[in-house]
Chain A
Amino acid sequence: MRSPAPLGRLTPATRQGLAVGVATGAYGIGCGALGVAAGLSVTQTVLTSLLLFSGGSQFAFFGVIGAGGSAGTAVAASTLLAARNAFYSVQMAQVLRVSGWRRLLAAHVTIDESTAVSVGQAEAEERRRGFWVTGLAVFVLWNMMTATGALIGDALGDPRTYGLDAAAAAAFLALLWPRLRGRDARATAALAVVLAAVVAPVAPAGVPVLVAAVAAVVVGLAPRWSRAERA
Chain B
Amino acid sequence: MSLWLAVLAACALSYALKLSGYLVPEEALADERVRRITPLLPVALLTALILTQALLDDAGQISLDARAAGLGVAVLALLARAPFLLVLALAALTAALVRMLTG
On A, residues with C-beta under 8 Å from B are 12, 15-16, 19, 23, 39-40, 44, 47-48, 51-54, 57, 61, 65, 70-72, 74-75, 78-79, 82-94, 98, 103-104, 106-108, 110-112, 115-116, 118-119, 160-177, 179, 184-185, 188-189, 191-193, 195-197, 199-203, 208-217, 219-221, 223-224
Contact = CB atoms under 8 A, between A and B. Distances in A.
Contacts of B19: 89, 104, 107
Contacts of A165: 53-54, 67, 70, 95
A58 B89 CA distance: 26
Contact of B92 (A75, A162, A179, A191): A162
Contacts of A193: 47-48, 51
Smallest CB-CB A-B distances: 8 pairs: A166-B70, A89-B21, A200-B60, A220-B37, A163-B95, A170-B91, A212-B48, A166-B95
Contacts, number: 298
A201 B49 CA distance: 15
B85 A19 contact: yes
26 contacts: A51-B14, A70-B1, A71-B1, A71-B5, A75-B1, A87-B45, A89-B21, A93-B21, A110-B21, A116-B42, A119-B43, A163-B96, A166-B92, A169-B54, A169-B67, A170-B91, A172-B53, A184-B40, A192-B44, A192-B48, A196-B52, A209-B48, A209-B52, A212-B44, A216-B44, A220-B40
A40 B52 CA distance: 27
A interface, over-half SS: helix
Interface in B6-32: 6-11, 13-15, 17-22, 24, 29, 32
A176 B47 contact: yes
Given A16-B84, A48-B11, A110-B18, A168 B53 contact: yes
B57 to A, nearest CB: 9
Given A19-B85, A78-B14, A93-B24, A164 B92 contact: yes
Contact of B21 (A44, A82, A86, A116): A86
Interface in B43-87: 43-54, 56, 59-62, 66-67, 69-71, 74-75, 78, 84-85, 87
